[in-house]
Structure 1
Amino acid sequence: MECTITATAVIDNLAGPDPNAANDTARAETHVLVKTGLKVNGPANVANDAPATLKATLTDAADRPVKDRPVTLTLGTGTAAQSCQARTDAAGVASCVIASVAQPATATSVAIKASFTGDACYLPSDASGTAKLLYYTGRSHALSVKPILLPQTVVADTGEVSTSARSTTEKTAAAISLALVNAKALKAGVVTGLGSSTGQATADEVSIGLPGLPVIKVAGVRATSTSTCALGTYTASASGTTTLGSLTIGGVSHPVASIAPNTVIRAGVATITLNEQRPVAGTSAGMLVNAVHVSAPAVADVVVSSARSGVHNCP
Structure 2
Amino acid sequence: MASAALLVGSLGVAHAEPATDDATALDFPADFKAPFECGLRVTYSTYQDHDFNALDIIRADGGQDLGTPILASAPGTARLTEGPGAGLVVNIDHEGGWQTRHYHLDTRTVEDGQRVEQGQQVGTMGNTGVSSGPHLHYEQRLNGTAQEIVVDGEELAPYPFSYHEKYFTSTNGCDGEQPPVEKEETSLAYTGPEIVSNGESAELSGTLTDEGDEPVADRTVSFTLGTGDSEQACEGTTGSDGGAMCVIDTVDQPLIDDGTVPLRLDFAGDDEYEASSHETELRITLETELEYTGPASIANDTAAELSGTLIDETGAPVTDQTVAFTLGAGDSEQVCEGTTTADGAVTCTVEAVDQPLTDETTVPVSLTFDGDGFYLPSEASAEVLLEYVTGSAFGLSADIPVLGLPISIGPAPESGEVRTAHTEETEPSCLERLGSALVTADVLCAQVVSDTDPTAATASANVSEARIGLAGLSLIELSGVEVASISTCEEQVGSVDMTLKVAGVPIEIGDTPDLEIDVDLGITGARLVVNEQIVEEDGSLTVNGARLTAPGGIDVVVGSATSAAHNCA
**For the superposition of Structure 1 and Structure 2, which TM-score range results when normalised by the shorter chain?**
0.7 to 0.9
Give the Å deviation of 1:46: 0.5
Within-5 A mapping of 1:132-281: 132-148=385-401, 151-169=408-426, 170-194=428-452, 195-229=455-489, 236-244=490-498, 246-256=499-509, 258-265=510-517, 266=519, 267-269=521-523, 270-281=526-537
Structure 1 Cα separation of the partners of residues 474 and 391 of structure 2: 33
Partner residue, 1:20: none
Partner residue, 1:312: 566
Structure 2 Cα separation of the partners of residues 297 and 65 of structure 1: 70
The answer to whether the Cα contact below 8 Å between 1:189 and 1:200 also exists between their aligned partners in 2 is: yes
The alignment's TM-score, normalised by the length of structure 2, stands at: 0.50
The answer to whether the Cα contact below 8 Å between 2:320 and 2:340 also exists between their aligned partners in 1 is: yes
Partner residue, 1:301: 555
Runs of 4+ in 1 over 6 A off after TM superposition: none
The answer to whether the Cα contact below 8 Å between 1:52 and 1:100 also exists between their aligned partners in 2 is: yes
Partner residue, 1:121: 374
Stretches of structure 2 lacking an aligned partner (at least 5 in a row): 1-255, 270-275
Mean Cα deviation higher: 103-112 or 66-75: 103-112
Mean Cα deviation higher: 123-132 or 298-307: 298-307
Question: What code does the residue aligned with 1:197 have?
Answer: A
2:314 corresponds, among 54, 58, 62, to 62
Deviations 1:110-150 (A, max 9, x none): 11000112223322111100111111011111111112265
Structure 1 Cα separation of the partners of residues 558 and 258 of structure 2: 73
Computing the radius of gyration over CA atoms, which structure comes out larger, 1 or 2?
2
Partner residue, 1:18: none
User: What is the CA RMSD across the aligned residues, in angstroms?
Assistant: 2.3
Give the Å deviation of 1:12: 8.9
Partner residue, 1:232: none
The answer to whether the Cα contact below 8 Å between 1:111 and 1:129 also exists between their aligned partners in 2 is: yes
Structure 1 Cα separation of the partners of residues 461 and 381 of structure 2: 43
The answer to whether the Cα contact below 8 Å between 1:10 and 1:25 also exists between their aligned partners in 2 is: yes
Question: What code does the residue aligned with 2:259 have?
Answer: T
Structure 2 Cα separation of the partners of residues 29 and 83 of structure 1: 37
Aligned length, in residue pairs: 298
Give the Å deviation of 1:95: 0.5
The change in CA–CA distance for 1:41 and 1:259 in structure 2 (over 3 A counts) is: closer
Structure 2 Cα separation of the partners of residues 217 and 5 of structure 1: 89
The answer to whether the Cα contact below 8 Å between 2:442 and 2:465 also exists between their aligned partners in 1 is: yes
The answer to whether the Cα contact below 8 Å between 1:4 and 1:34 also exists between their aligned partners in 2 is: no
The answer to whether the Cα contact below 8 Å between 1:135 and 1:162 also exists between their aligned partners in 2 is: yes
Deviations 1:235-269 (A, max 9, x none): x311111111x21112222224x241111124122
The answer to whether the Cα contact below 8 Å between 1:211 and 1:299 also exists between their aligned partners in 2 is: no
Partner residue, 1:36: 288
Question: What code does the residue aligned with 1:206 have?
Answer: A
1:46 aligns with 2:46: no
Give the Å deviation of 1:293: 0.5
Structure 2 Cα separation of the partners of residues 249 and 292 of structure 1: 12
Q: Equivalent pairs: percent with the same residue?
A: 34
Stretches of structure 1 lacking an aligned partner (at least 5 in a row): 15-23, 230-235
Give the Å deviation of 1:48: 0.8
Deviations 1:63-107 (A, max 9, x none): 221111111101111111111011111111221000111001446
Question: What code does the residue aligned with 1:248 have?
Answer: K
Partner residue, 1:9: 264
Q: Matched residue of 1:205: which SS?
A: strand
Q: Matched residue of 1:192: which SS?
A: strand
Partner residue, 1:233: none
Mean Cα deviation higher: 213-222 or 59-68: 59-68
Question: What code does the residue aligned with 1:142 have?
Answer: G
The answer to whether the Cα contact below 8 Å between 2:260 and 2:281 also exists between their aligned partners in 1 is: no
Q: Matched residue of 1:79: which SS?
A: helix
The answer to whether the Cα contact below 8 Å between 2:544 and 2:557 also exists between their aligned partners in 1 is: yes
Partner residue, 1:110: 363
